[in-house]
Structure 1
Amino acid sequence: MKAGTNMKMAGKTVYVFVLLTITKVMRLSGNSRVSVTVGDSSVLTCPLKGNITMLTWTTSPKAGGSCSLVYRADKNMTNRTNCCDNINLIFRPRLAPALEIRQVGIAQEGYYSCEMVSTEGNFPTTYHLTVLAPPRPSLYCDEQGSPVCKAAAGKPPAQLSWVPESSSTAEEKGHDNGTVTVLSRFTASNTSVTNVTTCMMSHPAGNWSESIACYPLEGDSFIRYVYAIPCVLLIIILLGVIHYFKLCSDRPCHKTKPPEIAPAHSQQDDTMEVEPYTTYVQKENVIYNSVSDLTVGQNLPQDLCTET
């Protein structure tokens, strides 16, 4: 009983696998591949056969939900379901109806299916839209003087090569939006090659090439040191000046002024200070002598003269 159940389950599994495989093959066989660069517009057309009764577009992008646009000729009206504003139906005289996608983004890559119902029958068409992101190329010399080529954020990853040939291998780093950055460091296959190297980038969105001359540190160290010595000396001098001014800010660096000495007290000043008193004494003596002379000359009593 158990063996029979296992056989039934195995048979169902094989049946589902075969059905999915057939569906996948049929879907891929009817796809038309279209490539568009990020930021450009893309126009996908449906076959025009007979008079249109109804037109349906269904999108299945890799990121986000599906979108559908249904046009009914009898009402001349289009219904939109979960579609971005940059997706619209366009009808042009004597041309097939089309789906226009303006300023395509990376997230809009995926499958776009059209089904036209006309007076002559149903006509389905499926497109596989591939969105290309051109990488940002750059070429520079690293710290060791080796050329480095970089193609940033490309979709699909860019292919890098060197002239002359290099034995290095490219490193890839994926990003969340589906882009890939590729980096290649030049490694010379022999020591007799010139210092000028060329990096060439190949990508579906466009090719690019650029040359650069790098000088490894080992082969040109003397010149580097010659240029480095003045720089080191200049830095040392600047540090010394900064240190000197820092010391000056912590303590006074100017010459100490000599202590102020009181001005010398000259003898002339003493004479000038005493001179008024001496003059006064001399005047008193003159008056006294005059009175004494007068008293003696007139033979007056001393007491009388004193009272006078």
Structure 2
Amino acid sequence: MKAGANMKIAKKTVCVFVLLTISKAARTAGLETVSVTVGNSFMLACPPNSNIIMVTWKINHKVGGACTLGYRADQNKIDRTNCSGSITWKPRSDQDPALEIQQVEVTHEGKYICEVVTTDGNFDKQYHLTVLVPPTLTLSCEGEGNAVCEAAAGKPAAQISWVPGSNSSLETKSHDNGTVTVLSRFTADSTNVTNTTCIVSHLAGNQSKSITCHPSNNSSNNLHIYITLCFLSIITLLAVIYYFKLHSDRLCHKTEPHEADPVDFPEDDTMEVEPYTTYVQKENTIYSSVSDVTLGKNLPQRTIASNVNDSTTLERERDTL
């Protein structure tokens, strides 16, 4: 039972998928792709018929809302809904209901459908409009002598090739408006390359530019720069070393203790005073001895003093010698 139910479900799924595929193929069978370069004007034609009753253009832009243009032959009247002034009927729409777009922009990209009602029946024509944006080509030399080619803001992305062929790198950058910038760096096989050509291939048209780069001159300039930088670095290093050495010497001189001034110790005073003390002691001893003798012999005091003075004089002379 379950196997039979699964088979029925599988058959229904296959039938739905086939019907959807046939329906999509029928819708896209009459779709025609048109490419227009930005800034140009162009026209889209409706199915040709001489018995036109009404014509309607239905436009679905890729970016922005839809717009509609309608024409009724019996009233010779044109209706416009949400369409810009650059989208309009071709002159004499009663004879040729073609659509004209002036000054094409990227925002005009999308699907355009023309529906015609005639006395012979209804007809339609579908277009898919693609807007091409040619890139801006710039060619320059880098500091290493490599050539750089840039195809900026192209739609679709451009392709870059070099003459002569050599090693190259490619970079791409997408922008919000659908354009793409492509950048290629050319590396020469030798330093003797005198001329390089960048070729940009694009649906809106091919472009090319040539340039001459000098890798040897650039290398010489870089060598001079490196030598100068090394020399300046050495001078700076020597200046720093001298600065620290100078300040370290000053610091050592500042921290070195001063020599102490000579100090007079009490012993020196004692040594200077000691001879005088010895002299006084000797004088007192002599005086005492004389006094004792005098008192024993009952001599007058003048004689004692004279003797003392003579003894003192003799003692001084002895000391002087």
Q: CA deviation at 1:27?
A: 3.2
Q: CA deviation at 1:50?
A: 2.4
After TM superposition, list the pairs within 5 Å mapping 1:63-78 onto structure 2: 63-78=63-78
After TM superposition, list the pairs within 5 Å mapping 1:259-278 onto structure 2: none
Q: TM-score if structure 1 supplies the norm length?
A: 0.66
Q: CA deviation at 1:223?
A: 5.2
Distance 1:180 1:227 in 2: 37
Q: CA deviation at 1:11?
A: 5.0
Contact 1:157–1:180 (8 Å) recurs in 2: yes
From the superposition, tell whether residues 141 and 16 of structure 1 become closer, same or farther in structure 2 (CA, over 3 Å).
farther
Determine whether 1:96 maps to 2:96.
yes
Q: Aligned partner of 1:111: which letter?
A: K
Structure 2 counterpart of 1:26: 26
Contact 1:56–1:70 (8 Å) recurs in 2: yes
After TM superposition, list the pairs within 5 Å mapping 1:248-287 onto structure 2: none
Distance 2:65 2:5 in 1: 38
Structure 2 counterpart of 1:186: 186
Q: CA deviation at 1:37?
A: 1.2
Contact 1:48–1:95 (8 Å) recurs in 2: no
From the superposition, tell whether residues 68 and 12 of structure 1 become closer, same or farther in structure 2 (CA, over 3 Å).
farther
Contact 1:164–1:193 (8 Å) recurs in 2: no
Distance 2:81 2:150 in 1: 42
Structure 2 counterpart of 1:142: 142
Q: CA deviation at 1:65?
A: 1.8
Q: CA deviation at 1:92?
A: 2.8
Contact 2:191–2:215 (8 Å) recurs in 1: no
Determine whether 1:54 maps to 2:54.
yes
* 2:126 partner SS: strand
Structure 2 counterpart of 1:172: 172
Q: Aligned partner of 2:206: which letter?
A: N
Q: Aligned partner of 1:144: which letter?
A: E
Structure 2 counterpart of 1:202: 201
Give unpaired runs (5+ residues) of structure 1: 231-308
* 2:104 partner SS: coil
Distance 1:45 1:70 in 2: 14
From the superposition, tell whether residues 69 and 182 of structure 1 become closer, same or farther in structure 2 (CA, over 3 Å).
same
Which structure has the bigger radius of gyration? 2
Q: CA deviation at 1:227?
A: 9.4
Deviations 1:229-287 (A, max 9, x none): 99xxxxxxxxxxxxxxxxxxxxxxxxxxxxxxxxxxxxxxxxxxxxxxxxxxxxxxxxx
Q: Aligned partner of 1:221: which letter?
A: S
Distance 1:225 1:29 in 2: 66
Q: Aligned partner of 2:167: which letter?
A: S
Deviations 1:29-68 (A, max 9, x none): 3122221111221211112212210101111221112221
Distance 2:13 2:130 in 1: 33
Instruction: Select the structure that is richer in helix.
Output: 2
From the superposition, tell whether residues 108 and 7 of structure 1 become closer, same or farther in structure 2 (CA, over 3 Å).
farther
Contact 1:55–1:116 (8 Å) recurs in 2: yes
* 1:17 partner SS: helix
Q: Aligned partner of 1:87: which letter?
A: I
* 2:113 partner SS: strand
Q: CA deviation at 1:113?
A: 0.7
Q: CA deviation at 1:204?
A: 1.4
Structure 1 counterpart of 2:39: 39
From the superposition, tell whether residues 178 and 223 of structure 1 become closer, same or farther in structure 2 (CA, over 3 Å).
closer
Q: CA deviation at 1:84?
A: 1.9
Q: CA deviation at 1:88?
A: 1.1
Q: TM-score if structure 2 supplies the norm length?
A: 0.63
Kindly tell me the number of residue pairs found equivalent between the two proteins: 231
* 1:198 partner SS: strand
Identity percentage of aligned residues: 56
Distance 1:27 1:193 in 2: 60
From the superposition, tell whether residues 58 and 212 of structure 1 become closer, same or farther in structure 2 (CA, over 3 Å).
same
Q: CA deviation at 1:225?
A: 5.7
Give unpaired runs (5+ residues) of structure 2: 229-321
Distance 1:167 1:178 in 2: 29
Tell me which moved more, 141-150 or 16-25. 16-25
* 2:220 partner SS: helix
* 1:222 partner SS: helix
Contact 1:50–1:120 (8 Å) recurs in 2: no
